[in-house]
Chain A
Amino acid sequence: MTAAAATIASQIALVGNPNCGKTALFNTLTGSRQKVANYAGVTVERKEGRFTTDSGRLVRVLDLPGAYSFDATSPDEQITRDVCKGHHPEEPKPDLLVCVADATNLRLHLRFVLEVRQLGQPMLLALNMMDAAARRGIRIDVARLAAELGIPVVETVAVRRHGADALRAAIDGTPPPSPAVVPDLDLHAETRRLLRAAVQLPMQHAELEDAIDRVVLHPVFGLAILGAVMFLIFQAVFAWAAPLQDALAAGTASVGAWLAAALPDGPLQSLLTDGVFAGVGTVLEFLPQILLLFVFILTLEESGYLPRAAFLLDRLMFAAGLSGRSFIPLLSSFACAIPGIMATRSIQDPRDRIATILVAPLMTCSARLPVYTLLIGAFVPRREVAGLFNLQGLVLFGLYAAGIASALLVATIMKRWRRDRGEHALLLELPSYRWPHPRDLLIGLWERAAIFLRRVTTIILALTVLLWFLSSFPAAPAGAGGPAIDYSFAGRIGHWMEPLFAPIGFNWQICIALIPGIAAREVAVSSLATVYALAAGSDDAAISQLSGIVASEWSLATGLSLLVWYIYAPMCLSTFAVIRRETNGWKHVAIAAIYLFALAYAASLLTYQLTVWLT
């Protein structure tokens, strides 16, 4: 190494077109686990990581959102533009730009490489996806390309173990000089010249992909496939997870029972059995279901199918005041509305973006799954329908569908309200199909499990303990009749709220559970478990199944009403926080809170009164 090596850049940024593998490279370089998926607009925020080169220098790496051009049209592209040009308020201008290009899509990506080169900053080019390029028969003369571009070029395969070694070495080596800026360069003409000089393309386009697309994007078969995929997910989440879930439930119940027997009677026993085991244990049972949902979501994300679904649904969503681009943010909201709302940054049109943000909470997030499962398990018989479907799965599907239908309806009304006639842009890129890597899938699942367990052991546990405390103190006065919980803080609050919620069929136990449910929806379930465990008194020490209690204590009308309530319930503070951040103000938070609460109350009222009247 020469002395020049000591002055090498230590701040680098990964830039390039969307979906070229920047985040995959970032992960291989830094050992991070940022989200990688096969569609444009996965990364919507700058992410920071570090690694030490072979020569021992510490390099700070910035992963940026993908951009088609510095003429930014969406909030995520603006971040990339600002960082590269050194205009970002919190980010110094990077010392070295690592421009990433998809070797299978050079006609598009080289144009942006040239645009980056026109900044005149030290840069190098990483030709990523060389494995896919080789499979397609694309041959690239790397030395020639580097000479013509006037910048170093390395080959990478970001998803392979040592696939980024060449890049790592290049970053460690002598820093490249700033490239010459050519005045008035015609980027397209130059791209064509480079392609002619250094790239040999096969005559044929990827035939298999086109054949798949002919089926998947077919007006009739395409929609049928989309419907079948969605339906399969909900059937599977309900039917396949059940055995695992039952096993977990039995496990926590027996540990709880053992604990109850081992500990002396008293507040500690009650806290552990009625609070921790009844509450947290009940939520824990839903882990298999949530993981199964993610197996599907992660597979779909990596396959490249999601933008195709967006293509199929664009017209319908447009009629409802959204856009095909809203599809992926809304689908992510099935996991959790927070990443879903963040993902709207890739929507170019600000009106479409706001509309998507406002309806995202109507998508059934995975935190609502425990509530749904509990109530469906209690009130809907486990029965086969038409010898093929599971009735409980059908009801779950119906709840998800009701959320989606409501979102379309709300968006339509908002569109009428706005009365704008301006044009909305789509311009959506459809990526190549890819096989999901089992290893990445497992890592993704492990991560979801870790997030869920962290939630359970922190916020859910804390709220459960708090609720146990509020439901146990103050203790009933000596000689008082009725269950002790009636005299506690929580009991009083519940009784005090009851009149407001009586028209929609909620008893005071449900009212209590609604409050901690605002912080995290799953807590509604753990709270119910705690409240009922305490109300049952200490004689009933064995923790009975909440589902059984609910089935025997509540009327069908109450059960259905609570199910419907949770389709709309504006019950998650973090969602409101992220709406505030993404829209820069409280206005949309207020709109969302009010309309969601009004819808929840109205729909539950209707459900409850109708069911009472019919039964």
Chain B
Amino acid sequence: MKLSEVPRGGGGIVVGVEALGPNDQIARRLRDLGFVAGEAVSVLAFGPLGSEPVLVRVGDARFALRRAEAARVCLQEQSP
């Protein structure tokens, strides 16, 4: 499952970040921000228009991601 498909209040465990191309800066940055295998994430809120951006908690930090960014993060579902 992708992080962009998670409903509000849902979450999961990160499996990995998929890079789109060999030099995907956004994917590298996502990993640096803590989106790495084994980390628990949850979706806290959506922006008012088109459910974008997605507010995600990873560790103790909260990040707002666009849908295309969230779609790079692959999750393993987890019952809340």
List A residues at the B interface (Cβ < 8 Å): 68-69, 71, 73, 104-108, 111, 188, 192, 201, 205, 210, 213-214, 217-220, 222-223, 307, 310-312, 314-316, 318, 324, 423-430
Contact = CB atoms under 8 A, between A and B. Distances in A.
A217 B45 contact: yes
Given A73-B25, A217-B45, A430-B55, 8 more contacts: A69-B29, A108-B61, A214-B45, A219-B46, A222-B48, A310-B64, A312-B47, A426-B65
A249 to B, nearest CB: 43
Contact of B61 (A220, A223, A312, A429): A429
Given A111-B34, A311-B53, A427 B65 contact: yes
Nearest to B68: A423
B2 interface: no
B32 to A, nearest CB: 4
Contacts of A188: 31, 34, 36, 39
Interface residues of B, number: 33
Contact of B60 (A69, A104, A217): A104
Interface string B50-80: 1011010101111111101100000000000
B15 interface: no
B50 to A, nearest CB: 6
Contact of B32 (A71, A315, A429): A71
Nearest to B35: A188
A427 B47 contact: no
B1 interface: no
B44 A68 contact: no
A106 B60 contact: yes
Contacts of B49: 315-316
B58 to A, nearest CB: 8
Contacts of A310: 64
A324 B64 CA distance: 10
A517 B48 CA distance: 41
- Sorted nearest first, the 8 A-B pairs with minimum C-beta distance are A107-B59, A219-B48, A315-B49, A69-B32, A430-B62, A428-B64, A217-B45, A188-B36
Interface of B: 25-26, 28-34, 36, 38-39, 44-50, 52-53, 55, 57, 59-66, 68-69
B48 A426 contact: no
A222 B44 CA distance: 14
A165 B44 CA distance: 38
A118 to B, nearest CB: 13
Contacts of B63: 427-430
Given A68-B29, A73-B29, A107 B60 contact: yes
A108 B34 contact: yes
B44 A111 contact: no
B32 A426 contact: no
A105 B66 CA distance: 22
5 contacts: A219-B47, A311-B55, A312-B48, A314-B52, A314-B53
A425 B69 contact: yes
A118 B57 CA distance: 27
A427 B62 contact: no
A266 to B, nearest CB: 65
B51 to A, nearest CB: 9
Contacts of A105: 59-61
A107 B63 CA distance: 14
B11 to A, nearest CB: 12
A219 B52 CA distance: 10
B47 A107 contact: no
A429 B30 CA distance: 12
A160 B53 CA distance: 36
B30 A427 contact: yes
Contact of B26 (A192, A324, A425): A425
Contacts of B68: 423
B21 to A, nearest CB: 11
Nearest to B62: A430
A124 to B, nearest CB: 23
A205 B47 contact: no
Given A217-B55, A315-B47, A425 B66 contact: yes
Contacts of B39: 188
**Which residue, of B26, B53, B69, has the highest number of chain A Cβ atoms within 10 A?**
B53
